[in-house]
Structure 1
């Protein structure tokens, strides 16, 4: 089989990845539509399964067409274009995989900025859908309508960027700068993918001007669809955690409502209510703030502290190396979870104590990673040349060694954020995390586990949230590892 163009290979890669996932969504909808006792079907879910099945069939037909040796991505048949348009419309049925494939197939020259813009638009759509669920509640927050209008305006702007973004390169300098500034400002709502799009457009513009450069990690990441899906979900949670402060009423998540105890899922409470009558959906939304904050901070602290100790130890060596590493060996000998339990049990359950407890156990591993990287980079020729030119140790470390030793540290941090999220939820599940009344995913799961036989959804939804967040960070970490591995590039 021969694919004649780079665009054809790119389309084939996306279609192959998305095809199985599209059929998977069809299977999920079909299984959810079945009532086993007595045997019957839920009509709305069954219709959804049929729609997804039709989309998946179209997707499979297009995939088989692209595998033909005579297929030319630049000279598509009219029927192929119609099918790709139908796949894009699959977004209205909730099938993001056919949407991504159809958009890639329709675009003549999909660059890096366009690919990131697709995921940026998807994040906007999901945020607006989740926000609109508040309309079914008895009341909304005071800033709900203003924030909703702002989110819709941002979505429309991002759609314009995705569809007409390539015409931006032909605008004058002032219009280009204005467009980039507006795009960056939209990232203030939490959609950090807007920054990826802005940087990609700026860098591509430099390429068109003749300033060719080496392919960046950001561009290599677009070759890994699983990493992009992980990045999209993480961005969605970041945006949701931020915008929920203005669109959700926290009273549904923290105030007891004894007239509404253990209610099944409804439009007003999509995930039901717990044993205190609190809305589980609102608790998961606000719980994303705690889980993300603890996961990120408990990774950033050992990243900087352990990285600094490892850099100093690896660069100076000898006695400095022995003192630092032997002290860290003592800390490394204590199991991280046991150390966290001891600290929280001694000083009390709180978010601050939880972050400190999880951070301390990770410092030695980060220090060891940074020490090994620094010892390797310190022997490179450009470091020896800088030393021969008379640069002091501080300049050598900060300017030449640390920047070139950071890639493995960044990859490691993305892979361990998921572990930090699991540790946070585990300690909260044991009653040793954040305060019991705080809406945190581990707390929600602990309460829901008491009703597994009668109300299993109380534990299923927070459990799925934890699984999806951990998987997303793992996918992103794997993608960054592949993108920074010179053997794979």
Structure 2
């Protein structure tokens, strides 16, 4: 019986979603309570009640799932139908209950359906967060057009979700689904990674005339989609990426950088959802714009050493001997210097700034990627198909780039997702010390540095940017764990 419960994904998701919803409800209610006059803030009170109600309902559904599995070894149709009652939780921002509900109502699940669900959820969340600007004194000039584009994208993704839910279980999908794939590819311009991956998957399946093409891309996502924590991590990363891109036209940058001395250190309200800092700047807008910098620096400080370190490691592992000694001994010297100390030295020499920060963090990560790639290349170079390519007289560069590198890149991808989290922490840490992004630019480390001076009186100025950093790093770590399992050939 215990094995039956543990092996059922809906059972674990339901309990996790219910418990975390109740925990978030308590936090929201606590944050909404004002001890000065013993009252509750309307917005926080409403959100806390909504999370609490859906959390209790989710736990009730979890109990029914448990009962069905114990008595009948399967979830009944009536219990699955209760998932439709949980779907409105998405519009309260409760992604935990919403994702569980989407998977509960669908008995047969596959990667395309999961991607469609998270694609739609991302757009709904971004639309809801962006709509909070309506409570501000003024909105950006492109606010209405941006919200319209988000509505159109959400409608396309909803239609795609319904169509995939209908035709996804068939052996062959209709050719007109190519229109859906093209439309989804257009919505990916907002930064929605789920729409991009789903579109690519649809094109691959159409080319192979079925949803089970057996492609490497499809197999990886099939495994990745089974991990709810990994998908939630990717959801938060995609949410921040989409919000960062759409904020270019939907958010007013002036609210994040212009001083407003009439609104200094205001507590969270409808007008200022996360309060204001000691200069009267809107923390909500500053954190949104700060996400853009954290993501850009995180991605670039991972991509640059991935390419440089990967190439050096590949050359070192393939050619060996003198080439190996020359490259690896030089990198050992670089590796001997602590990463944060090397970054501080580079920034101290060339000055604080975003470009110098990216260079500093990239240089310190090159040896790690080079060592990982070298080990992978040494292992792959001994395989039979590489020896066969050498026997046929193939050029070294053809063997390296066509046969060895494609089969050595999986561990590098996993490491890169885990390294991005470290890069985000390093970026915020250096900015906190005044050695990262310029102080006037809204960046999570800068926001946290200013807020740390008001921890005792206005703790929200430091709590919210700190939570943003924690959630982003956790999301990348969860995603990295899921990719490690999905790319592991031993799990085939």
Equivalent residue for 2:57, pick from 49, 55, 58? 55
Q: Relative to 1, partners in 2 of residues 1:362 and 1:49: Cα closer, same or farther, differing over 3 Å?
A: closer
Cα deviation digits, residues 440-459 of structure 1 (max 9, x gap): 10000000001111111000
Equivalent residue for 2:374, pick from 365, 371, 374? 371
2:85 is matched with 86
DSSP-derived class of the 2:82 partner: helix
After superposition, residues 190-201 of structure 1 pair within 5 angstroms as: 190-201=191-202
Q: Are the counterparts in 2 of residues 23 and 56 from structure 1 also a CA contact under 8 Å?
A: no
Q: How far is 1:272 from its partner?
A: 1.4
Q: How far is 1:373 from its partner?
A: 0.4
Cα deviation digits, residues 40-64 of structure 1 (max 9, x gap): 7665356335423432332322332
Q: Are the counterparts in 2 of residues 2 and 69 from structure 1 also a CA contact under 8 Å?
A: no
Q: How far is 1:33 from its partner?
A: 5.3
After superposition, residues 54-453 of structure 1 pair within 5 angstroms as: 54-73=56-75, 76-77=77-78, 80-167=79-166, 172-173=174-175, 175-205=176-206, 206=208, 208=210, 211-212=213-214, 216-453=219-456
DSSP-derived class of the 2:70 partner: coil
TM-score, structure 1 normalization: 0.93
Q: Are the counterparts in 2 of residues 448 and 459 from structure 1 also a CA contact under 8 Å?
A: yes
Q: Which runs of 5+ in 2 are unaligned?
A: none
Q: Using the alignment, how far apart are the partners of 1:46 and 1:403 within structure 2? A: 49
Q: Relative to 1, partners in 2 of residues 1:412 and 1:129: Cα closer, same or farther, differing over 3 Å?
A: same
Task: Name whichever of 435-444 and 109-118 sits farther off.
Answer: 109-118
Q: Are the counterparts in 2 of residues 269 and 280 from structure 1 also a CA contact under 8 Å?
A: yes
Cα deviation digits, residues 269-294 of structure 1 (max 9, x gap): 11111111211111111111111111
Q: Using the alignment, how far apart are the partners of 2:198 and 2:178 within structure 1? A: 14
Task: Name whichever of 136-145 and 305-314 sits farther off.
Answer: 136-145
TM-score, structure 2 normalization: 0.92
Q: Relative to 1, partners in 2 of residues 1:342 and 1:211: Cα closer, same or farther, differing over 3 Å?
A: closer
Q: Using the alignment, how far apart are the partners of 2:317 and 2:298 within structure 1? A: 27
Q: Using the alignment, how far apart are the partners of 2:125 and 2:213 within structure 1? A: 37
Q: How far is 1:255 from its partner?
A: 1.4
Q: How far is 1:260 from its partner?
A: 2.1
Cα deviation digits, residues 181-230 of structure 1 (max 9, x gap): 11111000111110222233344553638855566211110111111000
Q: How far is 1:342 from its partner?
A: 0.7
Equivalent residue for 2:463, pick from 460, 463, 466? 460
Q: How far is 1:34 from its partner?
A: 5.3
Q: How far is 1:106 from its partner?
A: 1.5
Q: Using the alignment, how far apart are the partners of 2:401 and 2:417 within structure 1? A: 22
Q: Relative to 1, partners in 2 of residues 1:191 and 1:368: Cα closer, same or farther, differing over 3 Å?
A: same
1:28 is matched with 27
Task: Name whichever of 56-65 and 280-289 sits farther off.
Answer: 56-65
Q: Relative to 1, partners in 2 of residues 1:36 and 1:405: Cα closer, same or farther, differing over 3 Å?
A: same
Q: Relative to 1, partners in 2 of residues 1:266 and 1:153: Cα closer, same or farther, differing over 3 Å?
A: same
Q: Using the alignment, how far apart are the partners of 1:443 and 1:212 within structure 2? A: 47
> Aligned Cα RMSD in Å?
2.5
Q: Relative to 1, partners in 2 of residues 1:308 and 1:460: Cα closer, same or farther, differing over 3 Å?
A: same
Q: Using the alignment, how far apart are the partners of 2:221 and 2:471 within structure 1? A: 22
Q: Are the counterparts in 1 of residues 4 and 69 from structure 2 also a CA contact under 8 Å?
A: no
Q: Using the alignment, how far apart are the partners of 2:362 and 2:99 within structure 1? A: 38
Q: Relative to 1, partners in 2 of residues 1:406 and 1:45: Cα closer, same or farther, differing over 3 Å?
A: closer
Q: Relative to 1, partners in 2 of residues 1:418 and 1:21: Cα closer, same or farther, differing over 3 Å?
A: same
Q: Using the alignment, how far apart are the partners of 1:39 and 1:268 within structure 2? A: 21
Q: How far is 1:13 from its partner?
A: 4.5
Q: Using the alignment, how far apart are the partners of 1:436 and 1:255 within structure 2? A: 13
